[in-house]
Amino acid sequence: MTMTSRSAAMFDAAKRVIPGGVNSPVRAFNSVGGTPRFIAEAHGPYLVDVDGNELVDLVCSWGPMLLGHAHPQVIEAVTTAAARGTSYGAPTQAETELVETIIERAPAEQLRLVNSGTEATMSVLRLARGVTGRDKIVKFAGCYHGHADSLLASAGSGLATLGIPGTPGVTAGTTADTIVLPYNDREAVTAAFAEHGADIAALITEASPGNMGVVPPAEGFNAFLAATAHEHGALFVSDEVMTGFRVTRSGYYGIDKVEPDLVTFGKVMGGGFPCAAFGGRAEYMAQLAPLGGVYQAGTLSGNPIAAAAGTTTLKLATEEVYAGIDKRAGELSSAVTEALSAAGVPHVLQHAGNMFSVFFTDAPAVPDYATAAAQDTTAYAAFFHAMLDAGVYLPPSAFEVWFLSAAHDDAAIDKVISALPAAARAAAQS
Ligand code: PMP
Q: Dump the DSSP string for 305-366.
A: HHHHHHHHHHHH--HHHHHHHHHHHHHHHHHHHHHHHHTT---EEEEETTEEEEE--SSS--
CB of 245 sitting under 6 A from ligand 1: no
Closest to 205 measured CA to CA, from 139, 267, 127: 139
SS3 281: coil
Helix (H) or strand (E) holding 231: helix 221-231
Average pLDDT over residues 115-126: 98
Average pLDDT over residues 387-391: 98
Q: How far is CA 428 from the centre of its chain?
A: 29
Say which range, 155-169, 210-224, 277-291, 373-387, has the weakest mean pLDDT: 155-169
- Is the preceding peptide bond at 290 cis, omega within 30 degrees of 0? yes
SS3 112: strand
Beta-carbon contacts of 293 under 8 Å, excluding residues fewer than 6 positions away, are 130, 287
Over the stretch 335-380, which tens digit does the pLDDT of each residue have? 999 999 999 999 999 999 999 999 999 999 999 999 999 999 999 9
Average pLDDT over residues 315-333: 98
Strands annotated E in 177-309? 178-181, 200-206, 235-240, 262-265, 276-280
> So what's the pLDDT on residue 162?
74
pLDDT grade for 157, boundaries at 50, 70 and 90: low
Active-site residue identified among 46, 267, 376, 415: 267
Pocket test for ligand 1, best of 24, 208, 241 (most atoms within 8 A of CB): 241
> So what's the pLDDT on residue 410?
97
Give the nearest ligand 1 atom to 240 CA. 3
Percent of the chain with pLDDT strictly greater than 90: 97
- CA 12–ligand 1 middle distance (angstroms): 28
The answer, yes or no, to whether residue 55 has pLDDT greater than 90, is yes
CB of 118 sitting under 6 A from ligand 1: yes
Among this protein's residues, is 144 annotated catalytic?
yes
Q: To the nearest whole number, what is the mean pLDDT of the chain?
A: 96
Percent of the chain with pLDDT strictly greater than 70: 99
CB of 146 sitting under 6 A from ligand 1: yes
Are 264 and 205 in contact by the 8 Å Cβ rule? The answer is no
- CA 306–ligand 1 middle distance (angstroms): 17
| pTM across the whole model | 0.98
pLDDT grade for 160, boundaries at 50, 70 and 90: very low
The answer, yes or no, to whether residue 77 has pLDDT greater than 50, is yes
Give the nearest ligand 1 atom to 119 CA. 16
> So what's the pLDDT on residue 158?
52
CB of 59 sitting under 6 A from ligand 1: no
- CA 341–ligand 1 middle distance (angstroms): 32
CB of 238 sitting under 6 A from ligand 1: no
SS3 275: coil
Over the stretch 16-51, which tens digit does the pLDDT of each residue have? 999 999 999 999 999 999 999 999 999 999 999 999
Is 304 buried (19+), middle (13-18) or exposed (0-12) by CB count in 10 A? Answer: buried
CB of 285 sitting under 6 A from ligand 1: no
Q: What ipTM, to 2 d.p.? A: 0.99
> So what's the pLDDT on residue 2?
87
Burial 103-142 (b: 16+ CB within 10 A, else e): eebbbbebbbbbbbbbbbbbbbbbbbbbbbebebbbbbbb
Q: How far is CA 10 from the centre of its chain?
A: 27
> So what's the pLDDT on residue 163?
81
- CA 345–ligand 1 middle distance (angstroms): 31
The DSSP-derived string for 292-308 is SSB----TTTT-HHHHH
Beta pairing class for 136-140 and 200-206: parallel
Among this protein's residues, is 369 annotated catalytic?
no
pLDDT grade for 161, boundaries at 50, 70 and 90: low
Among this protein's residues, is 267 annotated catalytic?
yes
Over the stretch 259-301, which tens digit does the pLDDT of each residue have? 999 999 999 999 999 999 999 999 999 999 999 999 999 999 9
- CA 239–ligand 1 middle distance (angstroms): 9
CB of 211 sitting under 6 A from ligand 1: yes
Closest to 196 measured CA to CA, from 236, 234, 237: 234
